Amino acid sequence: MFVQVIQGKTNDPAGLRQSLDRWMRDLAPHAVGWLGSTFGVTDDDTFIGIVRFTSPEAARRNSEGHEQGQWFAETSKFFESAVVFHDCTDVELIAGGGSDDAGFVQIMQQRIRDREALRALRTPGRERAMLELRPDILGGVFAVHPDGGSTAVMYFTSEEAAREGERTEMPPEIKAQWKQEMRCFEGEPVFYDLHEPWPYSPAA
């Protein structure tokens, strides 16, 4: 899987949403290898989201299309400054990936100190234990940026359930694993809360 993380300050969230709806109506039926997208705007008008493709080649073919370029040029007016893109080929799915049923999505970005150690810690058993402890989690996507940053996208049943889950006391073994994972990162994480996620998926 290939993931493109897109973010930037928007000056018109409603206009941006309408433009994305237009992409879904007019361009999505012809998008090559597109698997789905999750977008949203935070309380401070930061637009952020991920677009999932089957491969980098599929994403490139889609972005090089004339209609796609024209659409993005028109959509750029809804941003205050240049939009940032992170093209990620190193991708992990949690519980099969994202969910269009999520009532709340939280995105965390942080630099990675030791990618291989982090990869070794994320075992199927660790994932099962986390999901048993946190039934509010529907799934997630972890994407590593080419420059060593990362974007983790977690999908929750609701914001209320997610906040309640955050207060859940972790068993000692899970807490120890979590601390090990945190040592694989550096610097403080940056969080983006999407209170009203905008999910888009290919037509069935």
DSSP string, 122-166: --HHHHHHHHHH-TTEEEEEEEE-TTS-EEEEEEES-HHHHHHHH
187 and 96 in a common domain: yes
- What is the pTM for the complete model shown? 0.94
**Last residue within a domain, chosen from 73, 88, 103:** 88
102 and 34 in a common domain: no
38 and 83 in a common domain: yes
Domain carrying residue 102: 91-194
**Amino acid identity of 149?**
G
Phi-psi region for residue 148, left (φ > 0), alpha (ψ -120 to 50) or beta?
left
- The CATH number of whichever domain residue 37 belongs to comes to 3.30.70.100
- Per-residue pLDDT in tens (0 to 9) along the chain, 204 residues: 999 999 999 999 999 999 999 999 999 999 989 999 999 999 999 999 999 999 999 999 998 988 999 999 999 999 998 999 999 999 999 998 989 999 999 999 999 999 999 999 998 888 998 899 999 999 999 999 999 999 999 999 999 999 999 998 888 988 999 999 999 999 999 999 999 999 999 985
Q: What's the pLDDT score for residue 204? A: 59
116 and 162 in a common domain: yes
Dist CA 16 CA 23 (whole Å)? 11
Q: Can you tell me whether residue 98 is helix, strand or coil?
A: coil
Q: Are strands 84-88 and 90-94 parallel, antiparallel or unpaired?
A: unpaired
Q: What's the pLDDT score for residue 87? A: 97
User: Do 32 and 61 contact (CB within 8 A), yes or no?
Assistant: yes
Dist CA 174 CA 180 (whole Å)? 10
188 and 95 in a common domain: yes
**Last residue within a domain, chosen from 57, 88, 119:** 88
